[in-house]
């Protein structure tokens, strides 16, 4: 999920008639980097337009790798490194938005699969009583409470502690439990008096249509800005030549 931005030397030199040959690598790398930053902004604008309430974290996941004088290529892409050891990278989380197909695992889904509660083809969707944040996602606090009470996650062993402190802590939390699908639909439920209300329900693997063609978005921006950015980079290279 990245686009490499390079330039045909013939497209560059026609705007560089008044520049010393030694300055051409600098001017070219500067133009490429500025075009990549334009592609970054265009991609972020498309995400804001097409995604349902994207979080700031999602928008910031679009990165630029600047071009260098000795590496005449700039890159626009989606970050592929995890923000923490218990989370997926933005590229994994957003893959279905750019390529279609199935979406990446959420943190809760990952640990449920590890615990054998769901299969690799099963996912969670919010139930009617899920506590959603302003971006439409189940709140992190509620996810943590769920993981604690159904005993999944990296600290699953500590969740089962019988200490008085652990019992008091669990007693203060709302009663979440896991249904294997025999009496209630498979998923996470919450006790509410004598009733049970759905928080997260298991569904079969959903398939998504790609929302954004990042290559098309970036290349359209290049076509609109290339002449201007190359000319501007040439002027700057001439003005700053030593």
Beta-carbon contacts of 211 under 8 Å, excluding residues fewer than 6 positions away, are: 50, 51, 97, 98
Please indicate, yes or no, if residue 69 is contained in any of the structural domains. yes
Please indicate, yes or no, if residue 98 is contained in any of the structural domains. no
Give residue-wise pLDDT tens across range 59-85.
999 999 999 988 999 999 999 887 655
232 and 177 share a domain? no
Boundaries of domain holding 18: 2-83+208-239
Asked whether 98 and 214 are in contact (CB, 8 A), the reply is yes
124 and 148 share a domain? yes
Please indicate, yes or no, if residue 91 is contained in any of the structural domains. no
141 and 194 share a domain? yes
66 and 110 share a domain? no
Give residue-wise pLDDT tens across range 113-160.
999 999 988 999 888 888 888 888 888 888 889 999 999 987 654 444
pLDDT reported for residue 32: 94
Give residue-wise pLDDT tens across range 211-231.
999 999 999 999 999 889 988
58 and 30 share a domain? yes
**Mean pLDDT over the full length of the chain:** 84
Exposure of 171 by Cβ count < 10 A (0-12 exposed, 13-18 middle, 19+ buried)? Answer: exposed
113 and 194 share a domain? yes
169 and 194 share a domain? yes
Give residue-wise pLDDT tens across range 24-37.
888 889 999 999 99
186 and 112 share a domain? yes
pLDDT beyond 80 at 50: yes
Alpha helices, H only, the chain:
9-13, 24-50, 56-60, 90-99, 107-114, 140-150, 156-159, 164-172, 214-239
């Amino acid at each position: 999920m990245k686009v490499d931005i390079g330039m045909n030397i013939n497209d560059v030199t026609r705007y560089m008639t008044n520049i010393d040959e030694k300055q051409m690598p600098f001017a070219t790398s500067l133009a490429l980097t500025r075009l990549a930053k334009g592609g970054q902004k265009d991609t972020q604008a498309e995400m804001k337009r097409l995604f349902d309430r994207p979080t700031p974290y999602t928008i910031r996941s679009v990165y630029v790798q600047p071009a260098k004088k000795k590496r005449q290529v700039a890159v626009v892409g989606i970050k592929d490194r995890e923000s923490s050891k218990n989370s997926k990278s933005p590229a994994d989380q957003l893959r279905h938005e750019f390529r279609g197909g199935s979406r990446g695992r959420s943190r809760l889904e990952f640990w449920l699969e590890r615990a054998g509660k769901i299969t690799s083809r099963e996912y969670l969707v919010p139930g009617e009583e899920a506590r959603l944040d302003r971006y439409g996602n189940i709140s992190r606090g509620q996810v943590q409470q769920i993981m604690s009470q159904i005993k999944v996650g990296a600290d699953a062993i500590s969740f089962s502690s019988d200490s008085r402190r652990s019992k008091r802590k669990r007693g203060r939390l709302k009663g979440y439990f896991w249904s294997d699908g025999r009496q209630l639909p498979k998923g996470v439920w919450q006790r509410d008096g004598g009733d049970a209300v759905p928080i997260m329900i298991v569904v079969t693997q959903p398939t998504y249509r790609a929302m954004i063609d990042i290559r098309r978005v970036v290349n359209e921006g290049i076509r609109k800005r290339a002449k201007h950015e190359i000319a501007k980079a040439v002027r700057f290279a001439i003005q700053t030549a030593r």
